[in-house]
Amino acid sequence: MVTMSDVAREAGVSMMTVSNVLTGRKRVGEPTRDRVLAAVESLGYEVNLTARHLRAGRTDTVALIVPSFHDYFGEVADRIAPLIEAGGRHLVLERTSADARSEMESLSVPRLQMYDGVFLSVAGLGRDEIDRVPTSAPIVLLGEREMPGRFDHVRLANGEGARLATAHMLERGSRRVLALGGAVGSSAGMESDRRAGWAEAHRAAGLVPDDRLVVPLPDFTSEAAHQALGQVLDDGPAFDGIFAVNDTVAFGALAALAERGVRVPDEVQLAGFDNLDVSRFVPPGITSVDPGYDVVAATAVRLLEQRMAGSDAPREHVTTPVSLVERGSTRADVGPG
Amino acid sequence: MVTMSDVAREAGVSMMTVSNVLTGRKRVGEPTRDRVLAAVESLGYEVNLTARHLRAGRTDTVALIVPSFHDYFGEVADRIAPLIEAGGRHLVLERTSADARSEMESLSVPRLQMYDGVFLSVAGLGRDEIDRVPTSAPIVLLGEREMPGRFDHVRLANGEGARLATAHMLERGSRRVLALGGAVGSSAGMESDRRAGWAEAHRAAGLVPDDRLVVPLPDFTSEAAHQALGQVLDDGPAFDGIFAVNDTVAFGALAALAERGVRVPDEVQLAGFDNLDVSRFVPPGITSVDPGYDVVAATAVRLLEQRMAGSDAPREHVTTPVSLVERGSTRADVGPG
DNA sequence: CCTTCCTGGTTTATCGTTAATCCGGCACGA
DNA sequence: TCGTGCCGGATTAACGATAAACCAGGAAGG
């Protein structure tokens, strides 16, 4: 590896002069600069960023650490990246998950400290892991869990989104809306928020939420939803609407319905959450709660940059608004039933 | 920031002893170890990875640098991550793209050298950028471009996949299969490979490929496909099958067909490429070419680890096999027409 | 009793870069 | 003529960790 001192020797100057030429932080005479540049060129020198980072005490890099790059977080990442770049920093992504050991690993404090700032999704994390993370580092939590106040936190208006979607289907004639992927217990997660919204919409419509309409899922995949809904269709309670906890789950539901010839939205209305790009195109178009990705991204970046700038203002917990995008999977008008 | 020397002072030992306790690389007496650990605990010391990396000359980190985290690369990333972790290293993702400046940025040699190894997708890159990358670093290219032999390279059997899908539809009664997202010119990219396979299937079936059936797209998004296919349906050549350059494009096509009441697969068969998870669930199930993600990932990781181990064996260019997954969007039997 | 070896630890030097300081000259104003 | 400044550049000293060499003291062996 060719280092700065090689260049310095080749050009007959000191290392500092090479550094100054390359960073432009101090004035260097024309002829000297030329000799340095020539040496750089001929030796093929490239600065060693690790060394620079050590010296500088920062990495100019921000990490987004999420359980999966798909769907929701993929969309968020796409929005955050340009904002971070605009701030002169660099964004990298890491996954939690894989196995438990490597989850600890990527959340280890030393690793977090390699970054000037971190967006951390707490979706799949235990409370213990989070409690081990020191408050000192600039960290913004993304996610739906109720979290200790120690960190800035951006979350969606999950309850409101679920309420919007469910109310919409109730308005359009549904009477028994399944909550697909709802949590039956009272765990403090995204799914319980969404379930609360589902229940609230029922009550607002003068209906009593029926717990048998809450269908839990082992995970929020299409496959799990496909299986579970198949079961319900075969020998579960009757229903005429589905609020899926997210769009991926909605696709699984769509497949189960199609297999049994159940027409959407005529017999069953369907709404999801996340408003994925593909949801717009999958016939008949999946009605979905839009998380307002741009706002989520902008808010998260604002909080993080504030923290990276050294602010010790009180932590903020921001809930960003959501909206309902109506498509063909729910009825445009109140149906006959 | 609390450093190792703080710990050493607190414990009344030398820095090396602290280091040895923490890394376990040398034996340390029981009472000394206890004092060190106590000091670590009380000061909240955490090792500085940047410094360790500088000293060690490696980062134990591998990067996957791709144009987007969606779809194909999202799937690949999911498969590569555990394999890299299993090798005791850490995987991070970066995006090329954003703007041109930051594209250069993330591909700059200094940045690449921060990683022990790099998977690089050349999808959106100019030849110039690639030529600037030195061969010395362990780099495995992922992608469909014809690339200089300087790098290890994993690519899909694109032509074969397109041929499989097209032949399948021709067998099942289609006579005029659209190539949606094919390149009309002879640019050396994935789309031209796929188009070649499309043409070959036609010839093998005794048909003359009709260039008017090749529909170029500005980009491979659902929206672009939706627009373009709408145009074709309104006043383009007649067709009874669609080979979409990827599944995302296929979704756009599906929407355009549905809007006009064209039945799939009865009137038009549809096949895509990538076999995304969702393609299995979107009614009627999208027939798709499966890229064999596991093989792609395993091959790429094998090549990179070889290179990281210092091998200077000749570069390998591996083409991994694909397979066709038949679903409801193509006909199970030859139809009446 | 002296050499040899081991144990548990310290000292020294270095990874590659850069902030801060220092220094020799030359120009310029008083 | 002598400060006073400035300019271009060199020296010094870190950033935080660790490999390698070194060393004190006791045990073992002859």
Tens digit of each residue's pLDDT (9 = 90 or more) over A144-175: 766 767 899 999 998 999 999 999 999 999 99
- pLDDT for residue A12: 96
pLDDT tens digit string along A95-138? 886 455 555 566 788 999 999 999 998 766 666 777 777 777 89
Residue of B nearest to A55 (CA): B51
Nearest by Cα to B71 from B269, B289, B275, B280: B275
Cβ-based contacts of B106 with chain A (< 8 Å): 90
Which nucleotide C1' is nearest B29 CA?
Answer: C8
- Residue A205 Cα, gap to closest chain B Cα (Å): 32
- pLDDT for residue A297: 97
DSSP state of A206: T
- For C16, which residue's CA is nearest its C1'? A51
Q: Are A304 and A64 in contact (CB under 8 A)?
A: no
Q: Which of residues 214-233 of B touch A (CB under 8 A)?
A: 221-222, 226
DSSP state of A87: T
Q: Which of residues 61-80 of A touch B (CB under 8 A)?
A: 63, 68-70, 74, 77-78
Q: Indicate the angle between helix axes B15-23 and B4-11, nearest 10 degrees.
A: 100
- Paired with A153 in beta bridges are A141, A317
Picking from A278, A280, A286, A293 by the largest number of B CB atoms within 10 A of its own CB, the best residue to mutate is A278
Q: Which of residues 158-197 of B touch A (CB under 8 A)?
A: none
- Residue B263 Cα, gap to closest chain A Cα (Å): 12
Average pLDDT over residues B165-169: 97
- The residues of A between 19 and 48 with beta carbon within 7 Å of nucleic strand D are 26-29, 31-33
Q: Which of residues 261-280 of B touch A (CB under 8 A)?
A: 277-278, 280
Is the pLDDT reported for residue A64 higher than 90? Answer: yes
Architecture of domain A57-156+293-322 in this structure: 3-Layer(aba) Sandwich (3.40)
- Paired with B153 in beta bridges are B141, B317
Q: Which numeric CATH code is attached to A158-290?
A: 3.40.50.2300
Nearest by Cα to A244 from A264, A282, A278, A217: A217
pLDDT tens digit string along A186-198? 455 566 778 889 9
Q: Which nucleotides of C are covered by protein (CB under 7 A)?
A: 7-12, 14-20
Distances (CA, A) of A137 to A330, B44, B90, B135, B185: 45, 13, 21, 37, 52
CA of A15 to C1' of C17 (A): 9
Please give the single-letter amino acid code of residue A126: G
Q: At which residue do the structure tokens 């490929």 appear?
A: B209
Structure tokens at B83: 């394999």
CA atoms within 13 A on the CB side of B200: 14
Range of lowest pLDDT (B143-147, B230-234, B272-276, B278-282): B143-147
Q: Indicate the angle between helix axes A30-43 and A15-23, nearest 10 degrees.
A: 90
Per-residue flag: B47 CB under 7 A of strand D? yes
Q: Secondary structure of chain A: what % helix, strand, coil (to 5)? A: 45, 15, 40
Domain B59-156+293-322 has CATH 3.40.50.2300: yes
Average pLDDT over residues A24-45: 95
Provide CB contacts within 8 A for A223, sequence distance 6+.
Answer: A252
Per-residue flag: A101 CB under 7 A of strand C? no
Query: Where are the CATH 1.10.260.40 domain residues in chain B?
Result: 4-47
Provide CB contacts within 8 A for A139, sequence distance 6+.
Answer: A112, A117, A118, A119, A120, A133, A151, A152, A304, A307
Maximum pairwise Cα distance, chain B: 89
Q: Indicate the angle between helix axes B30-43 and B4-11, nearest 10 degrees.
A: 120
Cβ-based contacts of B254 with chain A (< 8 Å): 281-283
Query: Where are the CATH 3.40.50.2300 domain residues in chain B?
Result: 59-156+293-322, 158-291
Residue B159 CA to residue B195 CA, distance in Å, equals 7
Q: Which CATH superfamily is domain B4-47 in?
A: lambda repressor-like DNA-binding domains (1.10.260.40)
3-state secondary structure of A62: strand
Residue A237 CA to residue A305 CA, distance in Å, equals 50
Per-residue flag: A336 CB under 7 A of strand D? no
- pLDDT for residue B143: 82
- The residues of B between 57 and 116 with beta carbon within 7 Å of nucleic strand C are 57
Nearest by Cα to A181 from A236, A238, A222: A222
Which nucleotide C1' is nearest A5 CA?
Answer: C16
- Residue B103 Cα, gap to closest chain A Cα (Å): 10
- Residue B295 Cα, gap to closest chain A Cα (Å): 18
Per-residue flag: B32 CB under 7 A of strand C? yes
- The residues of A between 149 and 168 with beta carbon within 7 Å of nucleic strand C are none
Q: Do A283 and B105 touch (CB under 8 A)?
A: no
Q: At which residue do the structure tokens 């039997």 appear?
A: B333
Structure tokens at A39: 């040496």
Architecture of domain B158-291 in this structure: 3-Layer(aba) Sandwich (3.40)
Which nucleotide C1' is nearest A7 CA?
Answer: C16
- Distance linking the first and last C-alpha atoms of chain A: 75
Pairing of strands B152-156, B177-180: unpaired
Cβ-based contacts of B110 with chain A (< 8 Å): 46-49
pLDDT tens digit string along A261-290? 999 999 999 999 999 999 999 999 999 999
CA of A27 to C1' of C30 (A): 30
Is the pLDDT reported for residue B162 higher than 90? Answer: yes
CA of B4 to C1' of D22 (A): 22
- pLDDT for residue A333: 64
Highest mean pLDDT out of A148-152, A329-333, B52-56: B52-56
Residue of B nearest to A132 (CA): B44
pLDDT tens digit string along B81-114? 999 999 999 999 998 865 555 555 667 889 999 9
- pLDDT for residue B122: 75
- The values of phi and psi at residue B211, to 5°, are -60, -25
- pLDDT for residue B336: 45
- pLDDT for residue B256: 97
